[in-house]
């Protein structure tokens, strides 16, 4: 991919947050009326923002989880890309991007379920949440992000134990 092509993708961070049992957090998006799709927290990176700080910020906005309840375990070495389906072109992110390029983090959640607050931000993104086996993640996400989730699960597999 050329450097110019890279800028056609919105810079983003994604987080696989796991609990003490090795289960991954997923939320059901408020704005998805088309199906029963669940996703891990993700969001845009501001210009000049450190990726780890962007991840912590986005996680707090989407889940209410604060930094003191997190341990960063690993970051995938390469960014992962996905393209939006045709029906979404021009409708998201001001029409500036054809997809996202994502830096993915694995974090261990050391808090309790009561530390999760989907309404912590003035614009909630999730209406429900649950803990799931990481192997189920690709089945839960919208189809156009499935390959990314398969890569994320494979990339973090060796780090998922609670050692």
pLDDT of res. 92? 58
Q: How far is CA 84 from the centre of its chain?
A: 16
Rg, C-alpha atoms of the chain: 15
Quick one: pLDDT band at residue 4, thresholds 50, 70, 90? very low
End-to-end, the C-alpha distance of the chain in Å comes to 37
Phi, psi of 150 (to 5 degrees): -60, -40
Each residue of 101-128: pLDDT tens digit?
Answer: 999 999 999 999 999 999 988 889 999 9
Residue 163 has pLDDT above 60, yes or no: no
Task: Residue 81: name the closest of 58, 56, 106, 98 by CA.
Answer: 98
- Residue 55: burial class (beta carbons within 10 Å; 0-12, 13-18, 19+): buried
Domains, the chain, ordered by start: 3-159 (3.90.79.10)
Provide the whole-model pTM. 0.90
75 is written with which tokens?
């970051």
């Amino acid at each position: 991919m050329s450097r110019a092509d890279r800028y056609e993708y919105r810079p983003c961070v994604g987080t696989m947050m796991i609990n003490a049992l090795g289960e991954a957090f997923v939320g059901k998006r408020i704005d998805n009326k088309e199906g029963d799709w669940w996703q891990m927290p993700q969001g845009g990176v501001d210009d000049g923002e450190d990726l780890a700080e962007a991840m912590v910020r986005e996680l707090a906005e989407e889940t209410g989880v604060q930094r003191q309840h997190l341990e960063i375990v690993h970051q995938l070495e390469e960014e992962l890309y996905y393209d939006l389906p045709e029906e979404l072109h021009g409708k998201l992110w001001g029409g500036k991007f054809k997809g996202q390029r994502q830096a993915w983090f694995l974090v261990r959640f050391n808090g309790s379920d009561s530390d999760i607050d989907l309404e912590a931000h003035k614009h909630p993104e999730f209406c429900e949440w649950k803990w799931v086996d990481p192997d189920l993640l690709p089945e839960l996400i919208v189809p156009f992000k499935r390959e990314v989730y398969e890569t994320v699960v494979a990339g973090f597999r060796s780090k998922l134990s609670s050692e």
